[in-house]
């Protein structure tokens, strides 16, 4: 690709649902936006999901049109597979950002996304997109609905056999590509750097990631997704269809032993949603959700929970203490049945899903000068009145970078961050006497 | 190599979406495509896992460019979701091929087929084919249309002066767009003003609110009208006429003798600011520091005795003279907020035992309580407080008694758990010896910093008891001899379902959130409410703050329970949508409006008589070849395309563009036609 210097009104960092929405809400107002994404495709975590609560819309139906709108918007410069390297203040206001285009080893302007390279590549790698349940090639289009629909080469795993180069009908493959640095000048920045999940091995009591039939909820999303690895829900150890599935709530949230004392806010609803989808996919399976509190607080969420109960999904109050496995690799859950005489029981299930929590995806302190709070998410000095404003003037935050939140709340906050950034730009252009007071009040 | 095509050839591309399984789990999409491929004019018929993805859209673009497709039919989700997505797709491809975005028809295979015929895949597949055949029949007759582009009034009307309305107004004004904010009551601030501190940080609520109000009222692009209500609406997005009715304040600028006037005012009424726990006079201010810095006369209670005039008559006028005025605005922001649930008489002893109060009342009680070492209520020292959650929330139809209007609040009110524990923390700090019992169904301290409040309450000797939703606690008079007047009887599932009696000198009901009663605004703006009675968005993820009426957006708790942070975010998001609509100075209206064929029109005027919209269709003198005659003329901006005129016209002279009678006929014929011979799916 031709590397150029980019002048925009706003740089949005992160191409997940929050970043895409902020970019669209600004671009639709006529502002120029650059959207920078570290992965080869935008879409973030949301594009990996199956269906989304509480409407049970297919996730692609919500995400992919937004991805497409971002890619085709006249006011959006899409910068995928790029890292922000340095940030400086622009004289007169705004920022100068050094961005590195990582080499795709594929010319993005020439590549047609035909996947011929992928078909001939001899290297099979665990698919991170499918949470290591499926395989991908070293050179590939990231996933079927990726934006851009362009191949990239995972050079660390490439054996330089050259087959892709021979197969490519448009000679797009270029092993000699180098990282290229360019600058983005922007009047404001929106951080939409998202979240990571509790690592699989985080909790020793839950098998430390060693038990085959204990998976995290994102694995289950992939198993349930129509684009998923098997097309069926199968358990990892032996490919059996599970008859008994248990959800362990707060597996990584509200847990001082992990240093994560907060509620991750989405896990109750995604577990209930998955339980409902499993009831459809495996009508005979027993599904149990072990929980501390059911937190279905959003619009339509409580009704969703009550529907799940009516469908026969079993809700058991109790924090799971330990997960072991029996000789058939069935996970065995040890739990105090608080509502049943506080009996401590051990129950075997075919498959256990850990409702893992949300951790900050990125610490913006050193690069962006935005401090984080005790929970590791971006600090927000006036959370009630200005929920997307960071202590650093001109830098705003949205989505799960501002703390755990679901898709709806991320989309709404993305609109708020866009409004704040737009107002900031206008006030810089037309300074008002109030501005100094506002900045003083917020950033004091 | 593009296939040759002649002008006027109808070349239809047909696309059947799997919808990520939503459709293909029931409908055999491959069979549908195979059947449609056999129909006249259908050049390609394809399927895709998600047509709306970039890759799916690229299929259509490629077919337009390479196969000369000039009509597109997509069978997918409901048109409300992605009809516009695909119109944009073909318009984009049209840069080269010259395709008008209205040469498109969308068939809802998800809502109309797969979701409602899950048990019968074969019939569902046949129905899908029929609906698609009808769509194809219509597509053959589609004509290019052009949207109406009109100047937009760069002026928004925000309805409601609580935190959401203020936040929306501020953001719109900062973006450079004029705003008028109307508030029904005489003072700005809404319910946030009634709070002392906010969770999670314990910030001074009125100080934070006051800062926001200062910013809003000082902004040169903002005009604020208190005591003002929306009483009439006409027009359309970008160009609405809003009629506003404003009650007199009764007090004009420069009046300085409020304290004296209130002193002599003989009328004493319950003060709604303190939820009736104190009284105020008929001349009043909501709270010290309220905006505007002027008292108001409460017309419902002032008997115009004139005593206040004796203090210093200048600036007082004891006659209410409501005035109406019109505003031309481009968009509305509905920020009409909430009201707390008011328990029925006898619900948990409310209105029967004076020791039972609501959480909003308790917050005011603590604000008024002073610095003494003991909390006093009803002349007694409070030793035991019971906090009961989910009052008016999470109700179960068939178990809990409906409200007088038949409503059962089956939703979670979202803020009460954290608000209750925030209160418990304050109680513990101020009254270390108090026994505090928290009686809940689940503790939902979900937000950032909220769990800390729960943990702190637990560490600070708040006793937690847990009930089941269908076994809610009872509030009963305590037996004689007990030191507390009430007891709360609760089947506590944290102690194995034992029935416990909790002594209570004060029972606090954590009441839920109801939408403000806004039936008038709903009917004026033609927006809708959901079954929970909160105002309804188009789609929680695709258009989370937009209503189905273009130019009307939602901000804050009018849409559903939210805390202050969430209401602020929603309001700012609404402001962003207003900026998208009005920021460019013009709006595009869909071309689906009535069109009169003047050759057939005889000027009977029956269409004008039945039309429900002002100035949408009128009789005008039209001259044609030197002849003048009365003919019906449509003003596209005022027409909503409802089609009533079409059915009234005795001469079949009117059609709705994009949905003509001939197109309907063709669709009906196609629905009744035999199915194509089904090829086996590939």
pLDDT confidence band for B623 (50 / 70 / 90): confident
Q: Which domains does chain B have, with CATH numbers?
A: 12-147 (3.40.50), 155-247+322-337+516-586 (3.50.50.60), 258-312 (no CATH), 344-513 (3.50.50.60), 594-656 (3.30.70.20)
Distance from CA of A226 to the nearest CA of B (A): 6
- The conformational region for residue A305 under phi > 0 = left, psi -120 to 50 = alpha, else beta, is alpha
Whether the per-residue pLDDT at B96 is higher than 90: the answer is: no
CA torsion, ordered A165, A171, A176, A180, to nearest 10 deg: -140
Alpha-carbon distance values, B97 to B65, B67, B89, B93, B469 (Å)? 6, 10, 12, 7, 61
Beta-bridged to residue A424, according to DSSP, are: none
Distance from CA of B230 to the nearest CA of A (A): 26
CB atoms within 10 A of CB B162: 28
Chain A residue with CA closest to B208: the answer is A385
| Residues whose CB falls within 8 Å of the CB of residue B385, separated by 6 or more in sequence, listed in order | B375, B427, B434, B435, B436, B437, B504, B505, B506, B507, B508
Whether the domain at A6-102+179-194+361-443 and the domain at A198-358 fall into the same CATH topology? yes
Whether the per-residue pLDDT at B2 is higher than 60: the answer is: no
- Indicate the average pLDDT of chain B: 93
CB atoms within 10 A of CB A53: 26
| pLDDT attached to residue B682 | 43
> Which residue is it, tokens 């940080």?
B201
Q: Are A419 and B171 an interchain contact pair (Cβ–Cβ within 8 Å)?
A: yes
Cα–Cα distance measured from residue B445 to residue B423, given in angstroms and rounded to the nearest whole number = 13
Average of per-residue pLDDT across A192-217 = 94
Closest CA to A375 of A406, A355, A408, A400: A400
| pLDDT attached to residue B313 | 66
Average of per-residue pLDDT across B334-353 = 97
Q: Are B53 and A59 an interchain contact pair (Cβ–Cβ within 8 Å)?
A: no
**What DSSP element (H or E) covers B502?**
strand B498-504
Cα–Cα distance measured from residue A441 to residue B203, given in angstroms and rounded to the nearest whole number = 13
Q: Are B53 and A65 an interchain contact pair (Cβ–Cβ within 8 Å)?
A: yes
Whether the per-residue pLDDT at A440 is higher than 60: the answer is: no
pLDDT confidence band for B681 (50 / 70 / 90): very low
Angle at B426 between CA B205 and CA B477, to 5 degrees: 115
- Burial of residue B621, with CB atoms counted within 10 A of its CB: 0-12 exposed, 13-18 middle, 19 or more buried: exposed
Beta-bridged to residue B245, according to DSSP, are: B229, B324
Whether the per-residue pLDDT at A434 is higher than 80: the answer is: no
Q: What is the DSSP letter of B113?
A: I
The ipTM assigned to this model is: 0.94
Cα–Cα distance measured from residue B409 to residue B531, given in angstroms and rounded to the nearest whole number = 10
Cα–Cα distance measured from residue A444 to residue A421, given in angstroms and rounded to the nearest whole number = 19
Q: What is the DSSP letter of B543?
A: B
Distance from CA of A30 to the nearest CA of B (A): 8
| pLDDT attached to residue B3 | 42
Contact B568, A384 (CB under 8 A): yes
- Which of B50, B190, B513 has the highest number of chain A CBs within 10 A, making it the mutation to test binding with A? B50
Q: Are B569 and A385 an interchain contact pair (Cβ–Cβ within 8 Å)?
A: no
Q: Could you say which architecture CATH assigns to the domain A105-178?
A: 2-Layer Sandwich (3.30)
**What DSSP element (H or E) covers B488?**
strand B486-492
Q: Are A375 and B448 an interchain contact pair (Cβ–Cβ within 8 Å)?
A: yes
Closest CA to B576 of B42, B29, B171, B88: B171
Q: Are B174 and A427 an interchain contact pair (Cβ–Cβ within 8 Å)?
A: yes
Q: Which of A162-166, A343-347, B362-366, B621-625 has the lowest mean pLDDT?
A: B621-625
> Which residue is it, tokens 């959130």?
B513
> What percent of chain B is modeled with pLDDT above 70?
97
Q: Measured between CB atoms, which of A65, A295, A426 is closest to B442?
A: A295
Q: Measured between CB atoms, which of B85, B565, B573 is closest to A383?
A: B565
Q: What is the DSSP letter of A389?
A: B
Cα–Cα distance measured from residue A325 to residue B33, given in angstroms and rounded to the nearest whole number = 48
Q: Which of B95-99, B400-404, B495-499 has the lowest mean pLDDT?
A: B95-99
Q: Measured between CB atoms, which of B444, B569, B584 is closest to A413?
A: B569
| pLDDT attached to residue A2 | 47
Cα–Cα distance measured from residue B657 to residue B593, given in angstroms and rounded to the nearest whole number = 6
Contact A145, A47 (CB under 8 A): yes
Distance from CA of A63 to the nearest CA of B (A): 8
Closest CA to B546 of B115, B84, B39, B224: B84
* Tens digit of each residue's pLDDT (9 = 90 or more) over B38-57: 999 999 999 998 898 888 89
Cα–Cα distance measured from residue B101 to residue B94, given in angstroms and rounded to the nearest whole number = 8
> Which residue is it, tokens 């700012």?
B572
Q: Measured between CB atoms, which of B446, B540, B574 is closest to A297?
A: B446
Q: Measured between CB atoms, which of B54, B176, B573 is closest to A415?
A: B573
Distance from CA of A230 to the nearest CA of B (A): 14
Tell me the residue ranges of DSSP E strands in A119-217. 124-126, 135-137, 139-140, 152-153, 180-186, 188-191, 195-197, 214-216
Q: Are A55 and B540 an interchain contact pair (Cβ–Cβ within 8 Å)?
A: yes
Cα–Cα distance measured from residue B486 to residue B479, given in angstroms and rounded to the nearest whole number = 8
* A338 contacts in chain B (CB < 8 Å): 493-494
**Two structure tokens written together for A269:** 């609803």
Q: Coil, strand, or helix at residue A17?
A: helix
* A263 contacts in chain B (CB < 8 Å): 445-447, 450-451
Q: Coil, strand, or helix at residue B297?
A: strand
Per CATH, is A6-102+179-194+361-443 categorized as 3.50.50.60?
yes
Cα–Cα distance measured from residue A74 to residue A70, given in angstroms and rounded to the nearest whole number = 9
Chain B residue with CA closest to A397: the answer is B569
Q: Measured between CB atoms, which of B20, B54, B444 is closest to A58?
A: B20
| pLDDT attached to residue A1 | 44
Long-range contacts for A203-211 (Cβ within 8 Å, ≥24 apart)?
A: A203/A251, A203/A252, A203/A255, A203/A257, A203/A258, A205/A321, A205/A322, A205/A323, A206/A248, A206/A251, A206/A320, A206/A322, A206/A323, A206/A354, A207/A323, A207/A324, A207/A325, A207/A331, A211/A323, A211/A324, A211/A325, A211/A329, A211/A331, A211/A352
Q: Are B569 and A387 an interchain contact pair (Cβ–Cβ within 8 Å)?
A: yes
Average of per-residue pLDDT across A83-98 = 95
| Residues whose CB falls within 8 Å of the CB of residue B341, separated by 6 or more in sequence, listed in order | B358, B391, B392, B393, B409, B413, B511, B512, B513, B514
Chain B residue with CA closest to A432: the answer is B219
Q: Measured between CB atoms, which of B200, B215, B545 is closest to A434?
A: B215
Cα–Cα distance measured from residue A65 to residue B329, given in angstroms and rounded to the nearest whole number = 31
CB atoms within 10 A of CB B30: 18
Distance of CA B439 to the CA centre of its chain: 32
Q: Measured between CB atoms, which of B81, B203, B446 is closest to A384?
A: B203
Distance from CA of B132 to the nearest CA of A (A): 20
Contact A390, A382 (CB under 8 A): no
Q: Are B55 and A144 an interchain contact pair (Cβ–Cβ within 8 Å)?
A: yes
Q: Which of A349-363, B126-140, B191-205, B618-632 has the lowest mean pLDDT?
A: B618-632
Contact A369, A392 (CB under 8 A): yes
Whether the per-residue pLDDT at B518 is higher than 50: the answer is: yes
Q: Measured between CB atoms, which of B20, B198, B579 is closest to A384?
A: B198
| pLDDT attached to residue A432 | 56
Q: What is the DSSP letter of B538?
A: S
- The conformational region for residue A368 under phi > 0 = left, psi -120 to 50 = alpha, else beta, is alpha
* Tens digit of each residue's pLDDT (9 = 90 or more) over B189-229: 999 999 999 999 999 999 999 999 999 999 999 999 999 99
Whether the per-residue pLDDT at A126 is higher than 80: the answer is: yes
Helices B163-174 and B564-582, packing angle to 10 deg:
40
Whether the per-residue pLDDT at A441 is higher than 90: the answer is: no
Residue B247 C-beta-side C-alpha neighbours within 13 Å: 18
pLDDT confidence band for B592 (50 / 70 / 90): very high
CATH number, span A198-358: 3.50.50.60
Tell me how many residue pairs between chain A and chain B have CB atoms under 8 A apart. 246
Closest CA to B424 of B388, B378, B377, B448: B388
Q: Are A384 and B577 an interchain contact pair (Cβ–Cβ within 8 Å)?
A: no
| pLDDT attached to residue A438 | 52
* B174 contacts in chain A (CB < 8 Å): 422-423, 426-427
> Which residue is it, tokens 């997505």?
B85
Average of per-residue pLDDT across A110-116 = 89
Q: Exposure string (b/e) for B295-325, b if CB count within 10 Å is 16 or more?
A: bbbbbeebeeeeebeebeeebbebeeeeeee
Whether the per-residue pLDDT at B680 is higher than 90: the answer is: no
- Which of B52, B409, B494 has the highest number of chain A CBs within 10 A, making it the mutation to test binding with A? B52
Beta-bridged to residue A320, according to DSSP, are: A335
Domain ranges of chain A: 6-102+179-194+361-443, 105-178, 198-358
**Two structure tokens written together for B488:** 């709360």
Distance from CA of B377 to the nearest CA of A (A): 31
Contact A307, A327 (CB under 8 A): no
Contact B617, B631 (CB under 8 A): no
Contact B213, B165 (CB under 8 A): no
**Two structure tokens written together for B644:** 């009533």
> What percent of chain B is modeled with pLDDT above 90?
85
Closest CA to A286 of A212, A213, A352: A352
| pLDDT attached to residue A431 | 62
> Which residue is it, tokens 């196609």?
B670
Distance from CA of A302 to the nearest CA of B (A): 5
Q: Looking at chain A, how many residues does it have?
A: 444
Distance from CA of A262 to the nearest CA of B (A): 6
* B493 contacts in chain A (CB < 8 Å): 317, 338-339
């Amino acid at each position: 690709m031709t590397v150029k210097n980019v002048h925009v009104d706003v740089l949005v960092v992160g191409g997940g649902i929050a970043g895409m929405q902020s970019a669209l809400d600004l671009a639709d107002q006529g502002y120029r936006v650059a959207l920078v994404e570290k992965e080869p495709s935008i879409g973030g975590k949301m594009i990996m999901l199956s269906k989304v609560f509480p409407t049970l819309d297919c996730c692609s139906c919500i995400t992919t049109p937004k991805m497409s709108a971002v890619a085709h918007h006249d006011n959006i410069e899409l910068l995928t597979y790029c890292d922000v390297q340095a940030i400086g203040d622009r004289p007169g206001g705004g920022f100068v950002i050094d961005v590195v285009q990582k080499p795709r080893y594929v010319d993005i302007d020439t590549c047609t996304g035909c996947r011929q390279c992928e078909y001939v590549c001899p290297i099979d790698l665990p698919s991170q997109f499918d949470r290591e349940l499926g395989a991908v090639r070293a050179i590939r289009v990231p996933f079927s609905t990726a934006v851009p629909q362009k191949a990239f080469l995972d050079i660390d795993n490439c054996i330089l056999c050259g087959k892709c180069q021979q197969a490519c009908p448009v000679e797009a493959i270029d092993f000699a590509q180098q990282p290229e640095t360019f600058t983005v000048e922007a009047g404001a920045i929106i951080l939409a750097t998202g979240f990571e999940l509790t690592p699989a091995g985080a909790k020793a009591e839950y098998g430390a990631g060693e038990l085959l039939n204990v998976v995290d909820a994102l694995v289950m999303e992939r198993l349930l997704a129509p684009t998923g690895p098997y097309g069926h829900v199968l358990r990892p150890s032996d490919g059996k269809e599970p008859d008994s599935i248990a959800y362990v709530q707060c597996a990584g949230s509200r847990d001082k032993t992990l240093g994560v004392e907060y509620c991750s806010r989405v896990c109750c609803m995604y577990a209930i949603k998955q339980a409902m989808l499993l009831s459809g996919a495996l009508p005979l399976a027993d599904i149990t959700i072990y929980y501390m509190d059911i937190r279905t607080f959003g619009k339509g969420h409580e009704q969703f929970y009550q529907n799940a109960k009516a469908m026969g999904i079993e809700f058991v109050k109790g924090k799971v203490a330990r997960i072991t496995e029996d000789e058939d690799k069935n996970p065995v859950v040890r739990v105090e049945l608080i509502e049943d005489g506080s009996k401590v029981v051990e129950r075997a299930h075919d498959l256990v899903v850990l409702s893992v929590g949300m951790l900050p995806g990125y610490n913006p302190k050193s690069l962006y000068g935005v401090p984080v709070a005790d929970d590791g998410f971006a600090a927000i000095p006036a959370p009630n009145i200005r929920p997307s404003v960071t202590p650093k003037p001109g830098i705003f935050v949205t989505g799960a970078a501002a703390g755990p939140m679901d898709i709806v709340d991320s989309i709404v906050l993305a609109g708020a961050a866009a409004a704040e950034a737009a107002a900031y730009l206008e006030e810089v252009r037309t300074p008002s006497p109030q501005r100094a007071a506002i900045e003083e009040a917020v950033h004091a | 190599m593009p296939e040759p095509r002649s002008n006027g050839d109808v070349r239809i591309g047909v696309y059947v979406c799997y919808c990520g399984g939503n459709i293909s789990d029931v409908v055999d999409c491959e069979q549908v495509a195979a059947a449609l491929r056999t129909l006249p004019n259908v050049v390609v018929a394809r399927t895709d896992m998600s047509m709306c993805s970039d890759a799916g859209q690229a299929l259509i673009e490629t077919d337009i460019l390479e196969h000369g497709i000039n009509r597109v039919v997509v069978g997918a989700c409901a048109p409300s979701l992605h009809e516009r997505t695909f119109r944009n797709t073909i318009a984009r491809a049209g840069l080269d091929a010259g395709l008008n975005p209205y040469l498109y028809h969308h068939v809802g295979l998800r809502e109309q087929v797969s979701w409602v015929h899950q048990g019968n895949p074969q019939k569902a597949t046949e129905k899908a084919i029929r609906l698609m055949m009808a769509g194809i029949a219509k597509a053959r007759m589609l004509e290019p249309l052009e949207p109406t582009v009109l100047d937009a009034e760069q002026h928004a009307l925000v309805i409601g002066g609580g935190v959401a309305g203020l936040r929306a107004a501020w953001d719109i004004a900062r973006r450079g767009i004029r705003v008028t904010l109307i508030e029904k009551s005489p003072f700005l601030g809404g319910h946030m003003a009634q709070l002392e501190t906010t969770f999670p940080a314990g910030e001074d609520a009125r100080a934070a609110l006051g800062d926001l109000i200062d910013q809003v009222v000082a902004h040169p692009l903002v005009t604020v009208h208190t005591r003002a209500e929306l009483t009439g609406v006409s027009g359309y997005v970008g160009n609405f006429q809003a009629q506003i009715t404003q009650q007199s304040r009764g007090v004009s600028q420069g009046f300085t003798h409020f304290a004296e006037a209130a002193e002599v005012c003989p009328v004493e009424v319950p003060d709604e600011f303190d939820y009736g726990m104190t009284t105020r006079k008929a001349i009043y201010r909501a709270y010290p520091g309220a905006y505007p810095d002027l008292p108001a006369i409460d017309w419902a209670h002032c008997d115009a005795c004139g005593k206040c005039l004796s203090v210093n008559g200048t600036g007082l006028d004891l006659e209410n003279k409501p005035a109406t005025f019109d505003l031309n605005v481009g968009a509305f922001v509905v920020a009409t907020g909430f009201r707390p649930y008011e328990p029925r008489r006898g619900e948990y002893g409310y209105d029967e035992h004076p020791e039972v109060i609501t959480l909003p009342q308790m917050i005011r009680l603590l604000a008024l309580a002073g610095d003494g070492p003991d909390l006093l209520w009803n002349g007694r020292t409070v030793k035991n407080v019971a906090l009961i959650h989910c009052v008016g929330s999470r109700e179960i139809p068939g178990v809990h008694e409906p409200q007088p209007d038949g409503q059962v609040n089956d939703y979670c009110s979202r803020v009460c758990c954290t608000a209750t524990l925030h209160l418990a923390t304050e109680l513990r700090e101020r009254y270390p010896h108090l026994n505090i019992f928290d009686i809940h169904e689940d503790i939902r301290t979900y937000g950032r910093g909220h769990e800390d409040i729960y943990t702190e309450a637990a560490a600070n000797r708040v006793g937690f008891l847990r009930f089941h939703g269908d076994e809610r606690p009872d509030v009963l008079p305590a037996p004689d001899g007990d030191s507390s007047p009430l007891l709360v009887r609760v089947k506590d599932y944290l102690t194995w379902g034992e029935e416990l009696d909790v002594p209570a000198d004060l029972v606090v009901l954590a009441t839920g959130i109801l939408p403000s009663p806004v039936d008038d605004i709903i009917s004026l703006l033609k927006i809708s409410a959901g079954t929970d009675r909160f105002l309804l968005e188009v789609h929680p993820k695709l258009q989370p703050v937009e209503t189905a009426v273009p130019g009307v957006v939602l901000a804050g708790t009018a849409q559903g329970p939210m805390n202050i942070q969430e209401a602020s975010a929603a309001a700012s998001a609404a402001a962003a949508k207003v900026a998208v609509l009005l920021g460019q100075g013009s709006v595009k209206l869909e071309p689906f409006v009535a069109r009169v064929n003047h050759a057939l029109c005889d000027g009977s005027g029956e269409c004008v008589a039945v039309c429900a919209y002002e100035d949408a269709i009128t009789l005008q003198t039209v001259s044609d070849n030197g002849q003048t005659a009365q003919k019906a003329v449509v003003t596209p901006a005022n027409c909503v395309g409802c089609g009533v005129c079409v059915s009234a016209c005795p001469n079949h002279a009117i059609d709705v563009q994009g949905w003509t009678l001939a197109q309907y006929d063709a669709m009906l014929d196609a629905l009744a036609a035999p199915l194509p011979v089904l090829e086996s799916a590939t």
